Amino acid sequence: MSDIRHTPKAPTRNQALAAGEGIDAHRHDEHQIIYAGSGVLAITTEAGTWFTPGTSAIWVPAGTVHAHRAHGHLDLHLLGVPAEVNPLNLDEPTVIGVGPLLRELIIAYTRDPDDKSEERQRLLEVLLDQLKASPKEPVRLPAANDRRLAAVCRILERNPADGRTLAGLGAAAAVGERTLSRLFKSEFGMTFPQWRTQLRLYHALRMLADGLSVTSVARRCGWSSTSAFIDVFRRAYGYTPGAYHQSG
């Protein structure tokens, strides 16, 4: 762990990351709110990967070793919060929905990190109140501990369009279907179809951020049709992939 960069105070600033760029593993003694106004942000820890489009932010608790990865051009807004202030009572990274008001508060607060005025402190208090009231979103790809489960996950991570059943994937990894089904529930807290949908949505967001068409993304991620992809995407994020594509 000696090569993990340690920064006591989590930075509050705006930062741009080009597609494919990242920030290596590091940790802070403060909590951090990370909001990407454009592109897709992925935060990875030893427990898994959390990913978010521009309608969400990621809460990273103090002391969490994490790395950032950009998909598409990222306009990052980073906001440090003292460790003793935890309005969400969260001890693991969590994706938080960002409505129009919270979005403007984050942008305004990170605009001038050197501003120490009372007005800006009050802005932070309102921001944290809005954060507390914002919905938490189950947008996470957990990391497998069991080697058999990890082997199956790697197959689909390399090719999310692989349409094999759990039995078929288990045969390729030399593990039974019932064992795999149990492992998905015990380790990830979700069924295999739920996990595969999360994986496909993650890859879909990445591909859309890179400029691929909706039809191409649907095919590459394994949906049976473009309309099926649009339906799943809309239910997950509240808008169509076409609308997301245009906003990026």
Residue 247: the pLDDT is 57
State mean pLDDT over 155-173: 95
Among 103, 92, 117, 88, residue whose Cα is nearest residue 35: 103
For the cut 50, the answer to whether the pLDDT of residue 73 exceeds it is: yes
90-127 pLDDT, tens digit per residue, is 888 999 989 999 999 999 999 988 888 999 999 999 99
**Cα separations in angstroms, 171 against 46, 155, 168, 207, 240:** 27, 12, 5, 29, 36
State mean pLDDT over 125-153: 91
| CATH architecture entry for 5-140 | Sandwich (2.60)
For the cut 80, the answer to whether the pLDDT of residue 159 exceeds it is: yes
Residue 123: the pLDDT is 93
Higher pLDDT, 219 or 243: 219
Residue 245: the pLDDT is 60
Residue 78: the pLDDT is 92
What confidence tier does 1 reach under pLDDT thresholds 50, 70, 90? very low
**By mean pLDDT, which of 39-48, 50-59, 77-86, 149-158 is the weakest?**
50-59
For the cut 50, the answer to whether the pLDDT of residue 2 exceeds it is: no
Q: Is the fold of 5-140 the same as that of 144-247?
A: no
Overall fold of domain 144-247: Arc Repressor Mutant, subunit A (1.10.10)
Compute the half-sphere exposure of residue 41: CA atoms within 13 Å on the CB side of its CA. Answer: 30
For the cut 80, the answer to whether the pLDDT of residue 244 exceeds it is: no
State mean pLDDT over 119-137: 91
Segments making up each domain of the chain, as ranges: 5-140, 144-247
